[in-house]
Structure 1
Amino acid sequence: MSPPMKAFIMFVILVLGVRNKCSASRAIRKRPILGRSLIASASKSSNPYGGNSNVVDVTTLGAKGDGVTDDTQAFQAAWKAACVLDSATLHIPAGYRFLVGPLTFSGPCNSNILLKVDGTVIAPINPKAWASKPLNWINISKLNGITILGRGTFDGQGAAWWKLSQSYYKYSSKGGSTLPSVRPTALRFYGSYDVSVQGITIQNSPQCHLKFDSCTFVTVANVTISSPANSPNTDGIHLQNSEDVEIHHTSMACGDDCVSIQTGCSGIRVHNINCGPGHGISIGGLGKDGTKACVSNVSVYDSNIHDASNGVRIKTWQGGIGQVKRVSFSNIQVSNVRVPIDIDQFYCDKKSCPNQTSGVYISDVTYEKITGTYVQNPVYIACSENVPCTNLKLINIQLQPAVANGVDPFCSNNYGEQQSSVECLQPRRPLNDPSHTQSPAEQC
């Protein structure tokens, strides 16, 4: 073999060796997710969706679904299994009643998770299950991309709590043991981004049914919420410190606000809602115990409210600070509602509250095409002399008494424009408008 040919062969061998070494190096750096193959293989044996999809069925991890056996640990194990998979589905299958005590589904997880709820999940009423006094039944925390979807039901079995004293709960059939005095919320989302709840039913919660706290980009659609009208403090959907929320095509019957919008909320859209019985759709109460409250950019439209104590409402406590601004209520049909349009800057849920000069400033609120029947007042706008409501609008308000001899609107310290037969607003803006007099620290 000639020297040039030997040199060429040696060069080819050297290049191939380097390429193989680099490939091996890349293979070593590609680390698998810990435990992924083990969990996936364990769930394949009874995968209801077939194939190699990353589905974790709670029944494969020990959940009985007989309505008697405590399935809490099986649900917790299923969550842990799903949390480490890519685009996992945690499946709660139809045809079962899973008895599940207080639990937390927390992140961060490997990727988005779908919680597919087709069966029924029921809360325990044995006080021993609530010995730790949790504030929530099912707490979903710190997730980036979580969807609850299905035709299943979460049943809080709240009657065991409602029928007893609101300050002291006694469950006599369990040897005199007691339920906690603070009733838990059924489903609570905290500190999560890109949240979707669709199709499910939440019923008979001990307290609030569905709560979002410190969440961003939230969608609630085609959900049914149901509790009796006399069930205490059973808000349908409660929002606080959350932004960019849309709630639509949802039906709510409860013993408190169908939708409750609290401080720290902005970019809220509520539409195509059926509310009743209940206390209507409310912003507040805000500013309790002198706190600062900020709510802005809220739209409620194309909805029905019936057999309710209130229609669309803003309620604030005396002594608070902050601001509610850029709010619109439009195309709302009411039926047999005590007060369809309600602003109350003197909100008090006690026998009496002390008079105070400060208050949460309310401005830029529009009511347009609110129609139907009322029981007490068509409009009740009670604003503070020191912190009046400004830039209000009443447009095309058509409200008739449900019974004879309806009461006239009640209005005080409110300013704006009206294009309606219901006369309530004063036209001139006051010189002591708080938007000019409040300190920067009080503005939102």
Structure 2
Amino acid sequence: MLSLAILSLIGPLAVSGAYTPQGRSTGLSSRDGQTCTIQSSGSNSTDDSPAFRDAAKQCANGGTLLFQEGVDYYFNTPVNATLNNVDIQFKGNIHLPQNVTYVQGIVNGSTGGNVWWINLTGDNLNFTGTNNLSTGWVYGYGQQWWDANPKNGSGIASRPHLWRFNVTNSHIKNIKIRKPIAWVTTLNGRNIDVDNVFVDAATTPGGGFPFNTDGFDVAAKNVRINDFTIFNGDDAVTINNGGENVTVTNGFIGGPGCHGTSIGSLGQAQGVYNTVKNIWFENIKVHGCVYGSRIKTYLGGQGIVQNVTFANYDVSNTTFPIYLTQNYFNQGSSQTQNGAGVQEGGNFGGRVDNSSVIIEGVTYKNWRGDINTYQPGDGSCVTDPCWYDVPGSDGTQAIVIGCSNSTACSNFEFQNIQVIPQSYAETKINCTNLDQASNPNLGIVCTNGTLVST
């Protein structure tokens, strides 16, 4: 009941200074073309994906696709559709298959091993759900996947992504998702508005950890995500390579192992130049998470993160409210990486430390709340030391900034940071290579001691 109640409690708040994506269509009125009602077989032993594909072909240009109110649809195979000038009225429920082995077989049979169960492309697409809490849900049945995770594992193999919107000039509104298997929403393209999202990826008491249940992975340009509630075991919203001009506002993020709002990870493929620019997070509430905000790049990566703001955050029971590392370690990846996962030193796994993803122009302002002093971290640690270990941390660090060298982080500013440990001990700041010369308006004293506002 609490989760559903939060849907109505997180309402629009005033936001100033945010980037406003331009060029998208306006309004969400129905199309003038044909309406294609998607038919349901009414049973999870049959597959409704062909019915969706048929309707999508018939109304692919200028039409309306209707999921009937209160009707259950069983998508037992992945769907792909290209839709231009189309409305999707999502008033029914989509169910993914409940047979783990069956789904793994589909993922293993795909090229590259990446499957988005629902993959939509096109221009001027309106995907509109319903505010009726009794219908309009996507059911992923992820709990059985989380419970099957082996001891010291970070998620079982061959998990699908839920859905991808590779679209332009499009709106996505009123999404409700229950127990997604893993990565939830991928955004590619440009000029995308997203409003009113609820994701429940919280495990049951004593259940397996919901690894990689990212709420949004954004690699698009000119994006606005507003009004969301996400309970999960990874980043609620992360901006990946190619993300530019993105605003993320008015969100509530909760456990069991949430990682807040993030930039990256960037630079894992050392030969690929990564770019993230003009990102604005504002009015975010974070409860019971490992991080409030995070920027994460790999040792030896290439690229730039530029012009990022984290404003008006309320954090509670959060282990590392403000966190940045240029020595990121992904415990769940088999790709070449640095290996140690700590702020300094370690075995770097064969990576060459010959470059950094440059980070410049980052502002943190108007933060308040408390640090998880007594029970830090979450249930996702399967290594020793833990992947989120920070040497010397003791539950009093409001800010942890680990830059790879004295010029890799520049023009950082901290304004009005009022985050204190639950123990009421002195608030501390851990900084590595955050150089005063490169950050003339830093606003804090990086002595690993008491936080000082200037």
Same fold (TM over 0.5): yes
* TM-superposed deviation, 1:370: 1.1
Equivalent of 1:328 in 296, 309, 322: 309
Question: CA-to-partner distance for each residue in 1:196-246, whole Å, 9 max, x for gaps?
Answer: 211120221211111113x10111100111101620110000112x10010
Code of the residue aligned with 2:177 in structure 1: it is: I
In 1, distance between residues paired with 2:192 and 2:447?
35
Contact 1:188 1:212 survives alignment (8 Å): yes
Does the aligned pair in 2 maintain the 1:379–1:410 contact within 8 Å? yes
Contact 1:121 1:153 in 2 (8 A): yes
1:118, CA displacement in angstroms? 1.1
1:52-71 matches, within 5 Å, as 54-59=34-39, 63-71=40-48
**Correspondence 1:373 to 2:370:** yes
Which one of the candidate residues 85, 88, 92 is aligned to 1:119?
A: 92
Selected match of 2:300 from 319, 323, 328:
319
Aligned counterpart, 2:284: 303
Q: Distance in 1 between matches of 2:401 and 2:156?
A: 38
Pair 1:411-2:434 in alignment: no
Check if 1:94 corresponds to 2:72.
no
Residue among 193, 199, 206 paired with 2:181: 206
Query: Is 2:58 aligned against 1:81?
Result: yes
Cα separation, 1, equivalents of 2:69 and 2:116: 21
Instruction: Give runs of aligned pairs for residues 198-277 of structure 1, distance below 5 A.
Output: 198-213=173-188, 215-228=189-202, 230-240=209-219, 242-277=220-255
- AA of the residue aligned to 2:358: Y
Q: Is the 8 A contact 2:420 2:427 kept in 1?
A: no
Residues 121-170 of structure 1 show CA distances to partners (whole Å, capped at 9, x for unaligned) of 0100223355332533433343011121112111111123222237999x
Query: What amino acid is the match of 2:182?
Result: Q
Partner of 2:360: 363
Which deviations, in whole Å up to 9, do the C-alpha atoms of 1:93-112 show, x marking residues without a partner? 122221112333322x4x41
- Larger helix share, 1 or 2: 1
Comparing both chains, which one has the higher relative contact order based on Cα–Cα distances under 8 Å and sequence gaps of 6 or more?
A: 2
| Percent pairwise identity | 26
Q: Which residue of 1 aligns with 2:445?
A: 423
- TM-score, normalised to structure 2, is 0.73
Within 2, Cα distance between the matches of 1:245 and 1:162? Answer: 31
Give the AA of the match of 2:139.
Answer: D
2:385 aligns with: none
Cross-structure match for 2:139:
155
Note closer, same or farther for the CA distance 1:388–1:147 as it changes in structure 2 (3 Å cut). Answer: same
Code of the residue aligned with 2:224 in structure 1: it is E
What amino acid is aligned across from residue 128 of structure 1 in structure 2? Y
Decide whether the 8 Å contact of 2:89 with 2:127 is kept in 1. yes
Shift of 1:423: 2.7
| 8 Å CA contact 2:104, 2:157 repeated in 1 | no
How far 1:66 sits from its partner (Å)?
A: 3.7
SS at match of 1:225: strand
1:284 paired residue among 256, 261, 264: 264
RMSD between aligned residues:
2.7
Q: Deviations over 1:384-433 (max 9, x none)?
A: 1264311100011111112344662101211425576x53399xxxxxxx
Gap regions ≥5 residues in structure 2: 1-29, 131-135, 204-208, 332-338, 341-346, 373-394, 449-454
- Structure label with greater radius of gyration: 1
Q: d(CA) in 2 for partners of 1:385 and 1:238?
A: 28
Distance in 1 (alpha carbons) for counterparts of 2:218 and 2:357: 18
Amino acid at match of 1:280: G
For 1:404 and 1:386, the matched residues in 2 are separated by 32
Counterpart for residue 23 of structure 2 = none
Consecutive unaligned residues of structure 1, counting only runs of 5 or more, are 1-49, 170-178, 427-444
Question: Is contact 2:243-2:276 (8 Å) kept?
Answer: yes
TM-score by length of 1: 0.75
Contact kept? 1:339, 1:380, Cα under 8 Å? yes
Letter in 1 for 2:431: C
